[in-house]
Amino acid sequence: MLSKYVIPGNKLEIQAVERVKYVDETEKKKVYQTLVYDVLSDDRLEIYMPVEKSKLILLPIDVEYDLYFYTAAGLYQCFAKVIDRYKSDSKYILQLELTSNLRKFQRREYYRLSCALEMNARALEKEEIQAVEKKSKYLVPGLPLKHSIIVDISGGGIRFVGDYCYEPESLICCKYHLLIKGRDKEYTLIAKIIAVRELDDRPGLYEHRAQYIDIDTMDREEIIRFIFEEERKSRKREKGL
């Protein structure tokens, strides 16, 4: 799928997402802009090493990044890790390997909020998956849920951590609460797992990235407004207002 939409010369935004000791918090928040150098296969590509203030940014190997491609078909997103750095024809190149599928992305979903929200979730039953495939929202009531913590949220999906591991591409039912217009509201949403990894510094805990499936427009807009409101509050606190 990568070679179908991404071509050399496409603009690219890249930001660190993995929580590792040798990438500090300031660095994780930085978004670098660069260009695609070459597409090697459907899970590997080369990009120009980012430059900031005329200085090459030596992104560390084995760290995972959040990538956004600006293509002729629109904005696409995936996760990838740097697997090599080298010089080719006087150009400084990073080689990356995808760790998730490439997906179409709506720009308004881009804004992610770091958080610590409690969530309960479970894998969908066979009949529920069949209902999703038919664009229905049938859910079996009363099934047991597993507890986890959402560590960032956007209008397009969530990243959460739990002491269990879902299979990539599996569908889950997730429930969590947000404060909307001063009122507590519960959201029950269907999401697809797009990437899973065990935390390096906490064995037995797994980080999942999930994309919402057929989310109601109203629910999405409320989530986005919640994110913007929380960011506004955070900026006020930083300014001491």
Percentage above 90 pLDDT, the chain = 57
Give the Cα-Cα-Cα angle 167, 20, 164 (nearest 5 degrees): 25
Give the per-residue pLDDT at 174.
Answer: 96
Measured CA to CA in angstroms, residue 219 lies from 50, 150, 160, 187, 214 at distances of: 36, 17, 19, 8, 10
Residue type, position 224, single letter: I
Place of tokens 């495939």: 133
With residue 174 as reference, give the H or E element that holds it: strand 171-180
Domains of the chain as residue ranges with CATH:
2-105 (2.30.110.10), 108-239 (2.40.10.220)
Q: CA Rg, the chain, in Å?
A: 19
Give the per-residue pLDDT at 18.
Answer: 52
Q: Are 96 and 47 in contact (CB under 8 A)?
A: yes
The size of the chain, in residues, is: 241
As given in the structure block, the two tokens for residue 32 are 């670098």
In sequence order, the β-bridge partners of residue 34 are: 12
As given in the structure block, the two tokens for residue 207 are 């980080």
Residue 102 has pLDDT above 60, yes or no: yes
Least confident of 99-103, 156-160, 163-167: 99-103
Q: How far apart are CA 58 and CA 22, in angstroms?
A: 13
Residue 69 has pLDDT above 50, yes or no: yes
pTM over 0.75: no
Q: Are 12 and 33 in contact (CB under 8 A)?
A: yes
CA nearest neighbour of 22 among 72, 71, 59 = 59
Residue type, position 61, single letter: I
DSSP class of residue 108? G
Residue 176 has pLDDT above 70, yes or no: yes
For residue range 21-32, list pLDDT tens digits in order.
Answer: 445 555 556 789
